[in-house]
Amino acid sequence: MSAFSMRLLGRFLISSVLLGAWASVVQARDLPDFIDLVKSSTPAVVNISSSQKPHASGTRRPPSGLDLPDLQDDPSIGDLLRRFFGDQGGGDDDDNAPAPDSRSLGSGFIISEDGYILTNFHVINDADEIIVRLSDRRTFVADIRGTDKRADIALLKIDASGLPVVEIGSAKDLQVGEWVLAIGSPFGFDHSATAGIVSAKGRNLPQENYVPFIQTDVAINPGNSGGPLFNLDGKVVGINSQIYSRTGGFMGLSFAIPIDVAMDVADQLRASGKVSRGWLGVLIQDVTRELAESFGMERSSGALVAKVFPDGPAAAAGLTVGDVILEFDGREIADSATLPPLVGATRLNSVVEMTVLRDGKRKTLTVTVGELPVEDTVETASSAPPAVRDNRLGISVAELSAAMRDSLGVERGVVVTEVRQGPGRRAGIQEGDVVAKINGLTVEGVADFEQRAEGLPAGRSIAVLVHRQEGPLFLALKIEP
């Protein structure tokens, strides 16, 4: 190689190195700097330790907020939402030995200079004593001023003044892809900071109907529960609450309660000691592709009404079973999980318009929002059915007993006593289900059921309303031609 070629190669290599260094500097410059945020926010973040006395019987109880099924019986349950939990305390291998005090580590943050603190309900649930430790190592015994299990929020109070406080922001302005930072005590390591981005907004999780969660990829672990989630402006936008994990540790999916929801709860707890939420008085479900076909819908959207509670707001507004709620107060209902947070956040006695799909036509109803009851569950039937009859769907049915009618609150229908191979099993019908409607028509009894079953068209989906332990449910049934 000539001297000239060598000089060109050298210049090329030098230019490449300089270009790479310049690109690294530019990239580093574009990344957020969390130093000032952590310094200014850490003093208002606290460590929470809650203890429970041993049971008189000597039996152990799980850490606060931990309620997990046996994962060996059903591996799929490994993909569930696990409440954060901390140290379970020391233990004796002898199951008959008295259980020691258990300690559940979590986090929280100060929202007022006179000592009000927000954390998760599951961090302090069933606690006999709650210890709050500040960043300057001072410790206080906290009082519970109010809790809301549905939103997983607890409001605590310590006897102090002039405390550092966080700056409250809003989750409404968050954008997917935006940087966020969490500060908490994972595994008891106080004031650990971890950062990531907002992965999604408005996540609705199983058994959490009234919270539109913020999903992030911020590293969250046991002990972060109840701690704040900050945006780059140093404002709290959420409370770290849950993780999605196969192992109980962080796997890249964490969920935070929007601060707007949490502060509304806190304000109500401070004012009255309880939380009121809007209520329609319905049970709803998703509209699947097959159900959308049965209702003549072009796409699967909205919330399908499976039950209307008597004397509830929805019943007074004229809502009926089989209606599909498409809009609530001017907001589109993408699926059934979208509706409860909207209704829950609506002030009591507000008059709201709903758009529903009924018999293939859009209809506008006006509803006065009521107050969500303390318990809004439906009991199920437990008595044995009478004699069995067969039908073309591959299921056996029987008349409803008076006890089953009273227990389920069902006036008409038939109970399924056996499910064999056929359209019924493929649709998801189970033994013990009460079939109340077929193709929009009420089932009066066994004879009526058989007549409706025989007249069903083949080759297209038909909606069937059943009542079961979890409540009423629409299923899509198709008889093959």
Question: Which residues are known catalytic residues?
Answer: 122, 152, 225
SS3 letters across 278-296? EECCEEEEECCHHHHHHCC
d(CA 346, CA 367): 12
Which residue type sits at 294? S
Give alpha helix (H) positions in 166-283.
Answer: 259-272
Rounded-to-10 torsion of CA 6, 10, 15, 16:
100
Which residue type sits at 87? D
3-state secondary structure of 23: helix
d(CA 190, CA 42): 10
d(CA 161, CA 371): 36
Q: Which two tokens stand for residue 193?
A: 């900071």
Rounded-to-10 torsion of CA 56, 61, 64, 65:
-140
Of 320, 318, 323, 341, the C-alpha closest to 331 is: 341
Check if the beta carbon of residue 465 is closer than 8 Å to that of residue 284. no
d(CA 200, CA 174): 10
Residue that has been written with the tokens 């969920």 in this structure: 255
Residue 443, classified by CB atoms within 10 Å of its CB into exposed (0-12), middle (13-18) or buried (19+), is buried
With a CB cutoff of 8 Å and minimum separation 6, the contacts of 131 are: 48, 49, 50, 51, 139, 140, 141, 142
Check if the beta carbon of residue 167 is closer than 8 Å to that of residue 292. no
Chain-centroid distance of CA 277 in Å reads 16
d(CA 389, CA 248): 48
- Helix, strand, coil percentages (3-state) for the chain, rounded to 5, are 20, 35, 45
d(CA 425, CA 11): 74
Chain-centroid distance of CA 132 in Å reads 27
Rounded to 5°, the CA angle 466-305-294 comes to 70
Rounded-to-10 torsion of CA 321, 311, 265, 103:
-80
